[in-house]
């Protein structure tokens, strides 16, 4: 190889190495076990989080001199540079914090859990209320959905005007469709990095709260041939039924003993009209998902009511740990006391101002968030039987109030459906009829992660000047580690890294 070409190649490789994201891991110094949800602050500017497996990723825009501050409840915070991290084989070992109870309570009296929670409730609006100030936040959000069928039987039992062979072929298509879903349960991963602007601006009559979203980058990792949601599965099944429904006609759906007044059609002009009415943009969907995530992970909200509706729960003092600021945090366990209470778990409460620093929660045994059981009458049963997660709050730079820094929530539903379905043509003459037997049983789960990377106050005029723009997802067939190169993101779990589209 030419000498100059060799030098150029080496330089390019070095430059490529400098720009690569760095993956690190946080572990307990004594046990070597990974530490999930540890905070990593980069030069005091950006905040990262370690994933469930203890891994985190630093974007290539940082250099060896960049300073990392690693902290986790119950451990002594550690400061190091990226250069030092590399010398340590990209592993950070945290030392558990050790202290005496005397340090927490000078009277040597075990703190009372109910008294602590009374203080939490007294200060919760001050600590966790939404600030009216204009702000810009940069966040990363990941949504993972999966459908795991236990039973999936669909059969076209009748189709007027078509031969037995055509009906047999159609059922073969349906069987192939359901077999693929059973053998390869569908998964879908959606990642969004965006700037979120919010604040109160001057309105015509009174101040108005305004929020805007600016998507920096978004990816969707899914198999287009395998659906995750019921809606998408219906669309896929509809493509099969197209062979047996006249696309120029209008139909009424009858399911079980009950009919439907809804009119459906596969005519393109009819569906165009419906789409205009039901038009939903990617930006609108992303904003809706963000608002839903923020609302469902708010300790002032109705869902996570174990911090604001203290009369519903029974609390137990379980000790104290070091907080991220090397101060103390009370550990309070909770479980349902009244029927309206749903969760069991732990709260980590700041000794200084009684703010919620962290909460880990699970649905208590025997509890659900809702459901429907008309299995014997209508052949339908559904139950929202999975709800667990972790929320972490961080104090604002001003020293007043806290904001949601990280949230991980998993929800799931069990469903059962056993119903006949008929498409009946709307006509006074002989009617075209397609009958389908549907038996479906399974579980759908969704996991959402939210990470607040940076936030800062801005002028109200800057908020008003932000122009929202529509965006498109980058669609991927397999995980690509280079896709988030030079961007800050949550390090994916192994399950996501191993995903790939199953070729036909």
The answer to whether residue 347 is domain-embedded is yes
Judgement on whether residues 87 and 167 belong to the same structural domain of the protein: no
Judgement on whether residues 393 and 298 belong to the same structural domain of the protein: yes
pLDDT for res 327:
78
Judgement on whether residues 215 and 268 belong to the same structural domain of the protein: yes
Judgement on whether residues 84 and 161 belong to the same structural domain of the protein: no
Bridge partners (DSSP) of residue 476 are 221
Q: Which two tokens stand for residue 370?
A: 């809702």
Three state DSSP letters for 141-177? EEEEEEEEEEEEEEEEEEECCCCHHHHHHHHHHHHHH
Domain boundary pick from 98, 115, 144: 98
The answer to whether residue 126 is domain-embedded is no
CA distance 215 to 217: 6
The answer to whether residue 431 is domain-embedded is yes
The answer to whether residue 184 is domain-embedded is yes
CA distance 246 to 51: 51
Which DSSP helix (H) or strand (E) runs through 66? none
pLDDT for res 114:
96
Q: Are strands 474-476 and 208-222 parallel, antiparallel or unpaired?
A: parallel
Work out how many domains the chain is built from and give that number: 2
CA distance 251 to 235: 16
The answer to whether residue 246 is domain-embedded is yes
CA distance 287 to 317: 39
CA distance 361 to 55: 22
Judgement on whether residues 183 and 324 belong to the same structural domain of the protein: yes
Is residue 69 helix, strand or coil? strand
Judgement on whether residues 92 and 155 belong to the same structural domain of the protein: no
pLDDT in tens, the chain (504 residues): 455 554 444 444 444 444 578 899 999 999 999 999 999 999 888 999 999 999 999 987 888 999 999 999 989 999 999 999 999 999 999 999 865 544 555 445 578 999 999 999 999 999 999 888 899 999 999 999 888 888 877 777 777 766 778 778 778 877 877 777 777 777 889 999 999 999 988 877 788 889 999 999 999 998 766 555 555 555 555 566 656 666 667 767 666 545 554 555 555 554 555 545 556 789 999 999 999 999 999 999 889 999 999 999 999 999 998 876 667 899 999 999 998 999 999 999 999 999 999 999 999 999 988 876 656 555 678 888 999 999 999 999 888 899 999 999 999 998 887 777 777 777 766 676 777 777 888 888 999 999 999 999 999 999 999 999 999 999 998 888 888 888 889 999 888 888 877 665
Can you give the pTM of this predicted structure? 0.82
Q: Are strands 208-222 and 187-201 parallel, antiparallel or unpaired?
A: antiparallel
Is residue 203 helix, strand or coil? coil
Judgement on whether residues 420 and 353 belong to the same structural domain of the protein: yes
CA distance 79 to 276: 55
Judgement on whether residues 83 and 139 belong to the same structural domain of the protein: no
The answer to whether residue 394 is domain-embedded is yes
Tell which residue, 387, 189, 217, 194, has the closest CA to residue 291: 194
Domain enclosing residue 489, as ranges? 135-497
Torsion angle of C-alpha atoms 284, 289, 291, 293, degrees rounded to 10: -170
pLDDT for res 290:
94
Judgement on whether residues 273 and 157 belong to the same structural domain of the protein: yes
């Amino acid at each position: 190889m030419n000498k100059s070409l060799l030098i150029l190649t080496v330089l390019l490789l070095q430059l490529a190495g400098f720009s690569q994201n760095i993956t690190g891991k946080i572990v307990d110094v004594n046990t070597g076990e990974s530490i999930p949800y540890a905070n990593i602050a980069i030069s005091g500017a950006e905040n990262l989080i370690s994933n469930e497996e203890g891994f985190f990723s630093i974007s290539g825009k940082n250099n060896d001199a960049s300073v990392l501050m690693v902290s986790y409840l119950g451990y002594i915070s550690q400061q190091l540079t990226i250069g030092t991290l590399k010398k340590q084989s990209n592993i950070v070992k945290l030392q558990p914090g050790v202290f005496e109870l005397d340090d927490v309570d000078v009277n040597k009296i075990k703190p009372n859990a109910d008294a602590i929670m009374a203080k939490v409730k007294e200060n919760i609006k001050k600590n966790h209320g939404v600030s009216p100030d204009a702000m810009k936040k940069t966040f990363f959000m990941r949504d993972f959905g999966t459908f795991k069928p236990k039973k999936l039987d669909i059969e076209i039992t009748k189709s007027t005007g078509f031969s037995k062979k055509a009906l047999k072929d159609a059922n073969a298509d349906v069987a192939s469709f359901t077999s693929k879903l059973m053998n390869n349960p569908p998964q879908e991963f959606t990642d969004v990095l965006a700037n979120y602007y919010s604040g109160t601006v001057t309105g015509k009559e009174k101040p108005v709260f305004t929020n805007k979203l600016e998507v920096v980058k978004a990816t969707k990792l899914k198999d287009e041939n395998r659906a995750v949601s019921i809606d998408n599965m219906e669309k896929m099944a509809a493509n099969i039924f197209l062979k047996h429904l006249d696309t120029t006609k209008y139909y009424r759906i009858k399911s079980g003993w009950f009919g439907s007044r809804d009119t459906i059609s596969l005519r393109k002009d009819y569906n165009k009209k419906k789409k205009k009415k039901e038009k939903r943009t990617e930006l609108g969907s992303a904003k809706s998902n963000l608002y839903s995530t923020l609302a469902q992970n708010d300790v002032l909200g109705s869902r996570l009511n174990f911090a604001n509706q203290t009369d519903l729960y029974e609390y137990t003092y379980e000790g104290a740990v070091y907080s991220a600021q090397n101060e103390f945090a009370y550990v309070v366990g909770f479980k349902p006391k009244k029927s309206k209470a749903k969760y069991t778990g732990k709260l980590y409460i700041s000794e200084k101002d009684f703010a919620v620093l962290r909460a880990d929660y699970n649905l208590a045994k025997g509890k659900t968030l809702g459901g429907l059981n008309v299995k014997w009458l209508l052949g339908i049963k559904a139950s929202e039987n999975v709800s667990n997660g972790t929320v972490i709050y961080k104090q604002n730079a001003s020293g007043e109030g806290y904001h949601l820094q990280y949230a991980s929530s998993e929800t799931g539903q069990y469903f059962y459906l056993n119903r006949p379905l008929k498409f009946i043509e709307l006509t006074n003459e002989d009617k075209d009829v397609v009958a389908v037997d549907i038996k479906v049983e399974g579980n759908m789960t969704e996991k959402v992660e939210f990470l607040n990377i940076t936030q800062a106050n801005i002028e109200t005029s800057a908020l008003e000047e932000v122009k929202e723009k529509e965006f498109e997802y980058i669609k991927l067939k397999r995980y690509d580690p280079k896709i988030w190169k030079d961007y800050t993101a949550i390090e994916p779990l192994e399950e996501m890294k191993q995903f790939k589209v199953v070729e036909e």
